[in-house]
Structure 1
């Protein structure tokens, strides 16, 4: 069997090369669409926070921050995908991997919190409206943001 690199079959090298291109395209689109959209959302939430803040505002602002952190570290993933090797420091490798997955968990959990909040608002409109306060959303966001740190330890 022919190899292009020591110990790696030629078919596998072609497959990883195609995968590398796909990852770069998807990550590039995500980066160039995500940064302006999330910066705009962040600006809108900051402007809205000068008025009355709702629980949804707290969750969505936290989601926007999580997405911006993800997008900040996405170029490191793109560097790795460009040749399927990590050429930067080991610390940066660990940090970018942790941030990559932590922000994905954060985003998923924050979207779950938004769904639960919407469900409670629809299922128990009067009872939930009396108990709903942005302070509770802040507590939930702190718990969600600490979750990946607790798992990593």
Structure 2
């Protein structure tokens, strides 16, 4: 031991060198994983969401659900435009150089996109039950616009913890953008801070996952009792809503569940979270491009009413599905 009370390590020892080499290799793998997945999301999400926005603007008056899909495409596009900041930060060993405002927005925008998508998907599930009873097309369209505004407002309120608890702090490895649920920057963890963190994590999980899944499940069960349940289940809206709910859960479920598990777990399994939590965060970023990809996949089997010209409309105003094999 040295005279100042610190330990003198011989960095030429094999054990120390192996440990440093392993840590450096893990950090490089983490950087490559983040930059790779974020870059893929940008390359796919930006042009595809722009294409969806342009297409929906052209057909927005003919398809009442287009306003909701348009709202999700806009939020996903904004989400993708903020990803370059994360790429630059990851490439510089997660050092943050863009100030505290962008630090807060870089967390606020993804969670607002997640919450708005969750609320919109819930509304789309309810539309299968109630909106179809409105014979007035303009009334259904105006109701959709109102619900989109409500979803954006609710998402902004639910994402406010990112504006409050996301801060720029100085660490040993430089300036980082991170969550701090303490009102002081002493580095100490208090019971009040743990309670605030737990409340935020549960709120995100409930409104981000439980809300859309429960709405879709309840509406699906109630559809069985409807006389026209087969007609509704064979509609394009039903298939799009089901695909978007599944894609939303696949992207965001690990990102929202793992922090809760980590929050209530012991330190013995912390090395596991050091591997799977970054992967779940990168997977959540893929939600920025998953929706337009879902439209393309569904479009290979069904005629999307806002992407095709040869869809037929029934007397009740419902869009009929046309198998593309019949169009050849």
Q: 1:35 to 1:150 in 2, by over 3 A?
A: same
Relative to 1, partners in 2 of residues 1:133 and 1:75: Cα closer, same or farther, differing over 3 Å?
same
Post-superposition offset of 1:129: 4.2
2:115 is equivalent to residue 108 of structure 1: no
1:2 equivalent in alignment to 2:9: no
Match of 1:130 in 2: 135
Of stretches 75-84 and 106-115 in structure 1, the one that deviates more from structure 2 is 106-115
Gaps of 5+ in 1: none
Structure 1 residue corresponding to 2:87, chosen from 78, 98, 114: 78
Map of 2:49 onto structure 1: 38
- Correspondence list, 1:89-108, <5 A: 89-108=99-118
Paired with 1:140 and 1:10, the residues of 2 have a C-alpha distance of: 53
Q: Quick one: distance in 1 between partners of 2:122 and 2:38?
A: 24
Count the aligned residue pairs. 143
Structure 2, unpaired ranges of 5+: 1-14, 162-328
SS in 2 for 1:133: helix
Structure index of larger Rg: 2
C-alpha offsets along residues 50-105 of structure 1, whole Å, 9 cap, x if unaligned? x4341x11110101111111111111121122122212111111112111221122
- From 55, 67, 70, give the equivalent of 1:61: 70
Provide TM-score, normalisation by structure 2: 0.39
- Separation in 2, partners of 1:15, 1:103: 30
Pick 1 or 2: higher relative contact order, CA cutoff 8 A, min separation 6: 1
Q: 2-side partners of 1:64 and 1:73: how far apart?
A: 15
